[in-house]
């Protein structure tokens, strides 16, 4: 049996409503790419019949089952560890792709030796029911809300970028594992993919946005259903702050970050944006010990840093708007 070059990995939790269309489209796209591939579903202790559906309708899928719910990061990381391909295509369970998707997304890995080496290629995703409306484009870091935030652009052609959306991306599997995969500190989700992308660019690796690889995506629907709108916004702010506290190295930028926090949350209140930002900060502060321990662990064993915060945030690696 030919060993796969590409491992398509789907993290699934209670996604039975989407799996029939999503897995069918991924199998068709894998076959169309013309390279040996495997399709892995890591089921995260679903309770909606997902496992039975996969076993009944998709016998060619390699099914891994978490007996206890592990959340997104650990589930994806298990898939990457147990995959056999050198390229790991991470796909959310609420994604559907056209036949050309896998070939276009993985093409940069087959274009010969590159310097810097390619770490990841991210796709363009559009709304499930309105394909004219994008929900994820070319994302890159920018100084926002007194820390490392995100900005975006919409280039018509392939473009280097820093942030890669973890639910619609292809990774060099060995480098993904070298960095430890997605950090489960961010559980139940959000910012773990940007965190991994930022660490990769600091290590001197290249991430690419490929707008020709387009997928339909339902976005935050499952997490909003579980948590509710306000708790979801608080979670996103908590994780954004932890991302800053894990990654920011420049002392001057640290001072700017700390000085900006009272002004940011005060402005939210004055401008009628509510308390979600402040509540997210309180949740982040309550877990600062965990974030600092993870920061120390990374410092002890992480890769050498090829780029500084200033180069990434304000230099030529920033993205289209930073050139």
- What per-residue confidence (pLDDT) applies to 302? 62
Evaluate whether residue 225 is within a structural domain. yes
Identify the CA nearest to 119 among candidates 317, 320, 321, 322: 317
- What per-residue confidence (pLDDT) applies to 296? 93
How many domains, the chain?
1
pTM value? Answer: 0.92
CA-to-CA dists, residue 173 to 110, 122, 150, 180, 181, angstroms: 14, 14, 25, 11, 9
Tens-digit pLDDT profile for residues 218-230: 865 566 667 788 9
Evaluate whether residue 45 is within a structural domain. no
Cα–Cα dist 265/240, whole Å: 14
Evaluate whether residue 185 is within a structural domain. yes
Evaluate whether residue 284 is within a structural domain. yes
Contact between 196 and 166 under an 8 Å Cβ cutoff? The reply is: yes
Evaluate whether residue 251 is within a structural domain. yes
Q: Where are the beta strands (DSSP E) in 202-286?
A: 206-217
Work out the average pLDDT over 124-148.
Answer: 90
Evaluate whether residue 159 is within a structural domain. yes
- What per-residue confidence (pLDDT) applies to 222? 63
Evaluate whether residue 59 is within a structural domain. no
**Res. 319 pLDDT band, cuts 50 70 90:** very low
Evaluate whether residue 208 is within a structural domain. yes
- What per-residue confidence (pLDDT) applies to 320? 37
Is pLDDT above 70 for 321? no
- What per-residue confidence (pLDDT) applies to 111? 92
Between 58-72, 200-214, 248-262, 307-321, the lowest mean confidence (pLDDT) is in: 307-321
Work out the average pLDDT over 120-137.
Answer: 90
- What per-residue confidence (pLDDT) applies to 322? 33
Mean pLDDT of the chain: 91
Cα–Cα dist 254/148, whole Å: 10
User: Phi-psi region for residue 281, left (φ > 0), alpha (ψ -120 to 50) or beta?
Assistant: alpha
Tens-digit pLDDT profile for residues 192-214: 999 999 999 999 999 999 999 99
The boundaries of the domain holding residue 213 are: 95-323
**Res. 323 pLDDT band, cuts 50 70 90:** very low
């Amino acid at each position: 049996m030919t060993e796969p070059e590409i491992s398509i990995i789907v993290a699934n939790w209670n996604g039975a409503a989407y799996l029939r269309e999503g897995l069918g489209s991924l199998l068709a796209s894998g076959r169309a790419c013309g390279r040996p591939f495997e399709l892995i579903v890591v089921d995260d202790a679903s309770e909606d019949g997902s496992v039975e559906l996969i076993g009944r309708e998709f016998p060619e899928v390699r099914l891994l089952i978490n007996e206890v719910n592990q959340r997104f990061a650990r589930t994806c990381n298990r898939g990457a560890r147990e995959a056999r391909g050198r390229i790991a295509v991470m796909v959310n369970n609420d994604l559907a792709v056209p036949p050309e998707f896998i070939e276009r997304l993985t093409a940069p890995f087959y274009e010969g030796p590159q310097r810097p080496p390619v770490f990841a290629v991210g796709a363009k995703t559009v709304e499930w029911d309105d394909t004219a409306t994008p929900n994820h484009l070319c994302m890159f870091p920018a100084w926002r809300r007194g820390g490392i935030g995100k900005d975006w652009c919409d280039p018509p052609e392939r473009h280097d970028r820093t942030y890669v959306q973890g639910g619609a991306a292809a990774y060099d599997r060995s480098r993904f594992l070298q960095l430890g995969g997605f950090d489960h500190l961010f559980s139940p989700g959000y910012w773990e993919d940007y965190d991994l992308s930022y660490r990769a660019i600091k290590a001197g690796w290249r991430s690419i946005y490929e707008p020709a690889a387009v997928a339909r995506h339902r976005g935050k629907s499952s997490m909003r259903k579980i948590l509710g709108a306000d708790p979801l916004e608080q979670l996103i702010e908590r994780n954004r702050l932890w991302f800053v506290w894990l990654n920011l190295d420049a002392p001057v930028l640290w001072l700017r970050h700390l000085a900006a926090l009272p002004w940011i949350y005060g402005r939210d209140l004055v401008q009628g944006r509510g308390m979600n930002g402040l509540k997210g900060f309180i949740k982040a502060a309550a877990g600062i010990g965990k974030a600092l321990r993870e920061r120390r662990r990374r410092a002890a064993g992480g890769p050498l840093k090829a780029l500084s915060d200033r180069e990434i945030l304000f230099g030529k690696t920033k993205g289209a708007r930073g050139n």
